[in-house]
Structures are given as structure tokens and as C-alpha cells.
Amino acid sequence: MSKILARSGMSNSTAKPPVIQCRFCGEDEPQMQIEHPFKIALHWVSLACPCEAKAREDFKREQDAKLKRVRINKALKLSSAMDEIKSMTFENYKIRPGTESAHKEIRSAVDDFEARGRLGVFIFGETGNGKSHLTAAGGNELIEKGYAVIFIAEKDLLSRLQATRNFNNKESFGEIMDACMEADLLIWDDFMSSQKLSADEKDWIFQIINGRERANRPIWYTSNITTKEFTDPLTPYKLDDKGRTWWRIVGNSECKYNQASNHRQAYVTARALGISVEEYEKRVQGEAE
């Protein structure tokens, strides 16, 4: 027993043991008395030197950083059109009339990312009104903070999962699904853009959404569905015959309608009229009022 205690830096005696020098700095390791593990008494133990404790913490921090970097790189590898996405930031995102609510929600989702847990965001509205730019801006800021983020368009995701059935495909089904499940954030662009989903595709969508719900990880969706489609009682059944996928989505998301107009269309039309986009949008807004 004495040998076991000695090897652990502990003493079987109430007498103070010889001082041990730290193997890192050579200074005396601190000592203190604690309760004896096998009898009612106090005994002396040698503690780790502060420099040794710091070395262990630094090593663990370094290993954690490496693992996180691997996860981030794995996530980025799966993302769609990364060159374009990387350029999208809050700084170059223009808050246009109708985008305020969605912008505020994504800003909040970034600032309170840890506290929100699995609470995601579902932004829907007209095509070309900045939904993708906004979610990418939030995702890029989280990547800078060290989170693993995947940004993927629905058609790209489903086609890549489908392609794994080819024996010579570079990606495996498990690799893609694992990445979608394990990323800190999944940004699902153009959700419900597929006109007709196969039974397998519906199952894959459910697996990802259900898996992330169980893991307490969020999804940010962008979708071009209209307000009429969003409230249509038949919409939930486009994803499965029981509506379970849809209700998981809206139940785990802050849903925001991006009311802004199609910026791409506004740009082309304004150029044709020889006026600025801002002037054109003011005209459209005035006509609507």
C-alpha cells in the first residue's frame, strides 16, 4: 500500500514527505493535506506544479483546436459554391425594406448561438431578395468564431446523396450524412425547391432534420415558398405523408417572412430604365401603397 501511495505522490504517514521537484521548471511542487482514502486521518500529497498544470491545459486546448479545425474543414468540403459564399458578410449585406425582421433574427442567432441550442431559423420569401446572402453572412461569422458550418443547396445535397450509389463515387453516403449531422450549424439553402421528392429523398431529409433535433443542433433554412404555401394545410404533407418533417422544422425554428422584392429583377429593370435600384424600388413601393 505504501508503494502504491508513493507512486501516486501520496504518503501513508501524517509526516510531511520529501519535496518533489517539478520536471518542467525544477521548482518544488506544492504540497497539501487531504483525507486518507482508507482511514480516518489526514495525509500529505504533492500537487502538480502550476507550470505543469498550464502545460496540460495548453496541450488540451491545442488538441481541441486541431479537432475543431478538422470538423470545420470537413464541413467546408461539403458546402456548395464556397468561393461565392465566403464573400458574403454582414458588412456587404444591404438591409432593404422588408429584410429587417430576417436580418435581426440571423444577427440574434449568431450572437446567441450556444444559448439557442437547436433553435434554428426558417426564412422564406421571393427569390433573389437576399435570403442566401444573409444566412451565409451569419455562417461566415460563426466559422470565424471556430464553429463548423455547412452551407448547402437542397438540390446539391440530394444529388450528392443520390450519386453515392455509384461505386466509384468519391463521397460515401455515410460521410455526407455524418457531416450534416455533426456540423455545429447546417445552412439549408433553397429548401423545398425540389418539385417532386422521391421516397428516398423524403427519408434522407427526415433523417437529417430528426438527427439534428436529437443532437440539439440548429438548421437555418432559406426557402422561396410563398406566404400562401407556408400556411397551406397541404404543405406539411409534401415532405412526408404524416407531416412529421414539416412540424419538426417549424417547431425548431424562428420563422421569418422576408418581404423584400427580388433584388436581381430590380437591378435589371432599373438598369433598363436608366435609374438607380433605390429609385426603382421606391417607385414599386409607392405603386403598391
CA distance 225 to 250: 14
When pLDDT is averaged across residues 129-139 and rounded to a whole number, the result is: 94
Q: Taking 60 as the threshold, does the pLDDT of residue 5 lie above it?
A: no
CB 260 within 8 A of CB 126: yes
Decide which of 178 and 277 is more confident.
178
Which segments within 146-207 are labelled E, that is strand? 149-153, 185-189
Q: What is the arithmetic mean of pLDDT over 16-34?
A: 77
> At 218, is the secondary structure helix, strand, or coil?
coil
What single letter denotes the amino acid at residue 264? R
**If we measure between CA atoms, which residue out of 53, 56, 37 comes closest to residue 45?**
37
> How much is the average pLDDT of 86-108?
92
pLDDT of residue 152: 92
Does 77 or 285 have the greater pLDDT score? Answer: 77
Spell out a b/e string for 168-204, using b for 16 or more CB atoms within 10 Å of the CB, else e.
eeeeeeeebbebbbbbbbbbbbbbbebeebeeebbeb
Distance, CA of 117 to CA of 158 (rounded, Å)? 26
Q: pLDDT of 51-83, one tens digit each?
A: 877 777 878 877 876 777 676 677 667 787 667
Quote the mean pLDDT of the chain.
84
> Which pTM value belongs to this model?
0.73
